[in-house]
A and B are shown apart, each in its own frame.
Chain A
Amino acid sequence: MLKDVSFGQYYPVKSFVHGLDPRLKILFLIGFIVAIFLAKEFLALGICAAVLFAAILFSRVPIGKVLRAVRGILFLVLFTAAINIFFYQGERVYWNGPAVLLQWGIFRVTQAGIVFSAFLVVRLVLLVVCSSMLTYTTTPVALTDGIESLLTPLKWIRFPVHELALIMSIALRFIPILLDETERIMNAQKARGADIGSGGPIRRVRAIVPVLIPLLLSAFRRADELGDAMDARCYSGGKKRTKYKKLRFSWRDLVGVLLLAGVIAGVVLMRFYPVFPL
């Protein structure tokens, strides 16, 4: 079950999207998230989805892998959808039939509610897909370099930009290792008769403690070992450091910038001049 968590993992192939400048991809993600939140109608989300879909195709990351990322937040998506279906107050009629489809106490299912929660579901899925696309197509080192480069202005106020970026990339690298470890510890506890994953919520939470403590201990031990290994390889912060991989802006990046600018401009325009408003 834990193996399914694919957030933050790199998918190693060569592609147009993999070759893009990480700074651009980070900006693209931020711009995209803004666009998704600005979108007020299905058409605008549709444009975002189309661009995202094209990006997935050009990245050669299998669709199934991308959808796996959605599975991680499936509960959140369903929960949001359910809440909105039952409590949305709109009265608009979208298709032939009564505006209120079902009324039961404070629960009210309306046509507008169904449409609106569908809209939210699409929005959430797009958000998750575009963020996981960033990590699928960008190595943690490239991501670090990108963040470091984008945050360079903060160095002026002596903010430890390099260190922060390195911490983030190490955190990403350790996700699969710690997941493996969790599974191992859980299996070890189960083998000794621990009952994980059954009983009421309080019992379940209490069952996590004997997993969490060894996991934390081992994470600290690993941090120690990694620190030694970094020390032994002459790490001494960002000062005298050089970079093997230099970030360079190429024609692909220009294509990306233009595309992004187009999408954002389109979505913003549609906010003020809606085509098919909800």
Chain B
Amino acid sequence: MKALEFSDVSFSYGEEGFALKKLNFSVEEGEFVAILGHNGSGKSTLARLADGLLTADEGEIRVFGELLTEKNLFDIRKDVGIVFQNPDSQAVASLVEDDVAFGAENVGLERGEIGRRIDFALRAVGMESYRTATISRLSGGQKQRVAIAGVLALKPRVMILDESTAMLDPRGRKEIIEVVRKLNEEEGITVLLITHFMEEALLCHRAVVMNRGEIVMQDAPANIFRRREELLTYNLALPRIEVLCNRLREGGIPVTDALEIETLAEEIAKCVS
């Protein structure tokens, strides 16, 4: 089943031209998709449209087959969770558990169920020991994990991360990607990872490259990264590990596109011995 389906969706923010132009795009249930693109490529607009925070000028958006309209926004938002960029402006409450409870309270769940959802969500992001901590004292990565937990408490089937790693340090970024991968594998949640860090796309099933409101490339990440020159025209740089592989090949060490540090290390070891 298709979790998200955009057909001929256009959107503009006014006179500055189109943010999205006749976009056709879909995500299968259980898929882990990365959306890559430079600033202004329309990738965040896509996220906001999928959650009904923006309304498309033209075209249709379907979530699990259901057409997104003004009327079913509230129900759609239970299915589609979105985590934003700034770790400091997403939390409503000061304490971790109060903030995670916020969404569950909004949809009118009873207290026992809210408690169970908090347990589940905090465990899923590995923050269970911070349940009564003050959010403002957490690190950026921890704050974003709490934000993910706040979305998880609504038990969404799709989770969109709208540049949620952009303001984090490398360690925080790694934490978030790890959590998201786990959610996709273990909970079967469909993930849409919007980012401009190429490294983060390595783990996903499919990478989509956007440029000026259009999808310009769409393939498995390994195939995308092979098209280096094309990526450069969209102002996207290769992940460092890809750069290393290329250099090794140029230097006469025949490695394949490993994309994972461990496998690459093994290949190099083989070549050397």
A and B associate in one complex: yes
A166 partner residues in chain B, CB cutoff 8 A: 92
A140 partner residues in chain B, CB cutoff 8 A: 93-94
Selected contact of B98 from candidates A141, A222, A226, CB within 8 Å: A141
Contact A176 B136 (CB under 8 A): yes
B89 partner residues in chain A, CB cutoff 8 A: 177, 221-222, 225-226, 229
**What does the 1/0 interface line of A155-177 toward B look like (CB < 8 Å)?**
00000000000100110110011
A233 partner residues in chain B, CB cutoff 8 A: 77, 81, 102-103, 106, 150-151, 154
B83-110, CB < 8 A from A: 84-86, 88-95, 97-98, 101-110
Does residue A10 face the partner (Cβ distance < 8 Å to B)? yes
Contact B51 A244 (CB under 8 A): no
**What does the 1/0 interface line of B214-251 toward A look like (CB < 8 Å)?**
00000000000000000000000000000000000000
Given contacts A10-B134, A141-B93, A241-B105, are A234 and B88 in contact (CB under 8 A)?
Answer: no
Does residue B138 face the partner (Cβ distance < 8 Å to A)? no
**What does the 1/0 interface line of B150-171 toward A look like (CB < 8 Å)?**
1100100000000000000000
Contact B51 A232 (CB under 8 A): yes
Given contacts A173-B94, A229-B89, are A242 and B53 in contact (CB under 8 A)?
Answer: no
Contact B108 A240 (CB under 8 A): yes
Contact A170 B92 (CB under 8 A): yes
Tally of chain A residues near chain B (CB < 8 A)? 32
**What does the 1/0 interface line of A232-272 toward B look like (CB < 8 Å)?**
11111000111111100000000000000000000000000
Given contacts A12-B133, A177-B136, A244-B98, are A235 and B84 in contact (CB under 8 A)?
Answer: no
Contact A10 B94 (CB under 8 A): yes
Does residue B111 face the partner (Cβ distance < 8 Å to A)? yes
B101 partner residues in chain A, CB cutoff 8 A: 244-245
Contact A12 B132 (CB under 8 A): yes
Given contacts A225-B84, A234-B78, are A242 and B105 in contact (CB under 8 A)?
Answer: yes
Does residue A4 face the partner (Cβ distance < 8 Å to B)? no
Q: Secondary structure of the A side of the interface?
A: helix
B105 partner residues in chain A, CB cutoff 8 A: 241-244
Given contacts A12-B95, A177-B136, A242-B114, are A235 and B88 in contact (CB under 8 A)?
Answer: no
Selected contact of B74 from candidates A10, A169, A230, A234, CB within 8 Å: A234
A139 partner residues in chain B, CB cutoff 8 A: 93-95, 98
Contact A240 B51 (CB under 8 A): no
A228 partner residues in chain B, CB cutoff 8 A: 48, 53, 84
Contact A229 B132 (CB under 8 A): no
Which A-chain residue is minimally distant from B77 (CB atoms)?
A234
Which B-chain residue is minimally distant from A221 (CB atoms)?
B89
Shortest Cβ distance from residue A105 to the other chain B in the assembled complex, whole angstroms:
51
**What does the 1/0 interface line of A112-132 toward B look like (CB < 8 Å)?**
000000000000000000000
A170 partner residues in chain B, CB cutoff 8 A: 92
26 CB contacts below 8 A, A to B, read: A10-B95, A12-B133, A139-B93, A139-B98, A140-B94, A141-B98, A172-B94, A173-B91, A176-B136, A177-B88, A177-B89, A221-B89, A225-B89, A225-B90, A229-B90, A230-B92, A230-B102, A231-B77, A232-B77, A234-B78, A235-B102, A236-B74, A241-B105, A241-B106, A244-B104, A244-B105
Leading 9 A-B pairs by shortest Cβ distance: A233-B103, A244-B101, A225-B89, A229-B90, A222-B89, A141-B98, A234-B106, A240-B108, A244-B114
